[in-house]
């Protein structure tokens, strides 16, 4: 595509993360990109590197997705660049930022529960609410939310109860918002990856990784590129009739 729209990606500074791969794929397909992550300096650095590699406008800013003030500041920074002509209008938002929790239920604390819910579910809510109005005004937009197969099968991969609960909330959020937006020109979809080759499975051993891969019908975990391909497809012109849907990327580990 020609450079006409900007894609916002949260949680995109990890070298082995889904978010960085998504940002790179957007840029490769001609989108301008904005990376939003907790480390503002690294966000700007990663964005500059991707922008230079693919010759697209790019910016990176600090964001704490759990804090309304931080989200508002990031949105204002992006809007300022759009108004100044440094970025095209925002057309896509990929809510990737998230954390997991492998803690057994009776060992969880309210603090842990609130943190996992805040980053995954509340963060998706706050960032979407901040960037949605401009999409509605433009009459075009694509929102893709990161859920997980754990929300569908009740854990069983790595994250346990708080994580599965937060990711399940994202599925309900996605469907309800898609229905509410209706014919606005803005679609809202979710992806539910299974095991992906990233750093998020903290503490996993070679043995558990091998056992996990063996339990998947296709015999391996997903690559971040395979997840990114679905997200960027859902952000394009051809996905206009897809909304409120959940796209499984699990290699057959959960069939329903």
Report which secondary-structure segment, H or E, holds 95.
strand 89-95
Closest CA to 95 of 37, 178, 29: 37
Question: What whole-number distance in Å separates Cα of residue 150 and Cα of residue 101?
Answer: 11
Question: What whole-number distance in Å separates Cα of residue 193 and Cα of residue 210?
Answer: 18
Is 163 a known active-site residue?
yes
> CA 167, 20, 244, 74 torsion: positive or negative?
positive
How is residue 54 annotated by DSSP? Answer: H
Q: Sheet harboring 186-193: ordered strands across?
A: 58-62, 32-37, 5-10, 89-95, 141-146, 186-193, 246-249
C-alpha count within 13 angstroms, C-beta hemisphere, residue 102: 7
Contact between 70 and 63 (Cβ < 8 Å): yes
Contact between 31 and 233 (Cβ < 8 Å): no
The label of the residue with tokens 């995109």 reads: 12
Which of 26, 61, 125, 163 does the annotation list as catalytic?
A: 163
Closest CA to 231 of 15, 24, 16, 2: 24
Q: Which residues are catalytic?
A: 163
């Amino acid at each position: 595509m020609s450079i006409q729209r900007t894609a916002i990606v949260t949680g995109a500074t990890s070298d082995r993360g889904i978010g960085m791969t998504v940002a790179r794929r957007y840029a490769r397909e001609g989108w301008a990109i904005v990376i939003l992550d907790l480390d503002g300096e690294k966000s700007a650095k990663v964005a500059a590197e991707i922008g230079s590699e693919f010759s697209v406008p790019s910016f990176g800013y600090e964001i704490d997705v759990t804090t309304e003030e931080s989200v508002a500041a990031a949105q204002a920074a992006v809007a300022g660049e759009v108004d100044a002509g440094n970025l095209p209008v925002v057309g896509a938002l990929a809510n990737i930022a998230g954390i997991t929790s492998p803690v057994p239920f009776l060992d969880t604390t309210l603090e842990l529960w609130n943190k996992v819910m805040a980053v995954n579910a509340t963060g998706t809510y706050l960032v979407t609410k901040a960037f949605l109005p401009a999409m509605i005004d433009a009459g075009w937009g694509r929102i893709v939310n990161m859920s997980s197969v754990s929300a569908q099968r009740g854990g069983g991969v790595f994250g346990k109860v708080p994580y599965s609960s937060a990711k399940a909330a994202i599925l309900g959020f996605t469907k309800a918002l898609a229905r509410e937006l209706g014919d606005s020109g803005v679609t809202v979809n979710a992806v539910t990856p299974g095991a992906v080759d990233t750093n998020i499975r903290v503490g996993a051993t070679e043995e558990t990784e091998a056992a996990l891969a063996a339990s998947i019908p296709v015999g391996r975990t997903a690559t971040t590129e395979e997840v990114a391909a679905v997200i960027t497809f859902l952000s394009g012109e051809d996905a206009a009739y897809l909304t409120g849907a959940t796209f499984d990327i699990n290699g057959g580990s959960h069939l329903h």
